[in-house]
């Protein structure tokens, strides 16, 4: 079996003794989350994308939603107690989080933002999400994730 490169996310998980599994899709050409789920042979309901939003008051919020679903901005705003939120512009992602589009993980951002995971994650023993670098995913349970990331659950998809 080929040794998988370690990302900062994986290092954070290991430093905190978090049980996880890593998956690589690096040489597959997969770009979208749905393609990633397909090449990893995983249920797209179980593979989550990390989305960063901004409110009118310039607060930032992170949402994890299944890769084949869309974030419902009204539900998301309500979940975090804002009147409205919008998606963060792609050019602002790297300076704000330290991650590039397609490799953004809720773990290891420059600053920890309020994070909400779509409630559908509770349907699975584990979920997959970005390992912090394009081509890498990590898989872990919500219980394990709770040890390194403060998050809430809410219905935030269309």
Q: Each residue of 6-55: pLDDT tens digit?
A: 899 999 999 999 999 999 998 888 889 999 999 999 999 999 999 999 99
Domain ranges, residue 53: 8-154
> Does any domain span residue 79?
yes
> Does any domain span residue 3?
no
Q: What is the CATH number of the domain that holds 115?
A: 3.90.960.10
Distance between CA 93 and CA 69 in Å, rounded?
A: 21
> Does any domain span residue 72?
yes
The predicted-structure confidence for 45-92, as pLDDT tens digits, reads as follows: 999 999 999 998 899 999 999 999 999 999 999 999 999 999 999 999
CA-to-CA dists, residue 35 to 41, 50, 67, 107, angstroms = 10, 15, 9, 22
> Does any domain span residue 148?
yes
Domain count, the chain: 1
């Amino acid at each position: 079996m080929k040794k998988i490169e370690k990302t900062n996310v994986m290092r954070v998980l290991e430093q905190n003794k978090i049980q996880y599994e890593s998956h690589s899709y690096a040489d597959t050409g997969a770009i979208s989350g749905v393609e990633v789920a397909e090449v990893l042979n995983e249920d797209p309901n179980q593979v989550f994308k990390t989305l960063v939003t901004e409110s009118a008051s310039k607060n930032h919020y992170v949402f994890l939603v299944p890769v084949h679903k869309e974030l419902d901005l009204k539900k998301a705003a309500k979940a975090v107690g804002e009147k409205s939120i919008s998606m963060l512009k792609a050019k602002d992602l790297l300076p704000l989080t330290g991650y590039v589009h397609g490799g953004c993980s809720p773990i290891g951002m420059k600053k920890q933002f309020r994070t909400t995971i779509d409630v559908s994650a509770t349907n699975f023993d584990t979920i997959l999400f970005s390992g912090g670098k394009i081509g890498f995913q990590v898989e872990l349970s919500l219980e394990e994730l709770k040890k390194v990331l403060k998050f809430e659950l809410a219905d935030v998809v269309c």
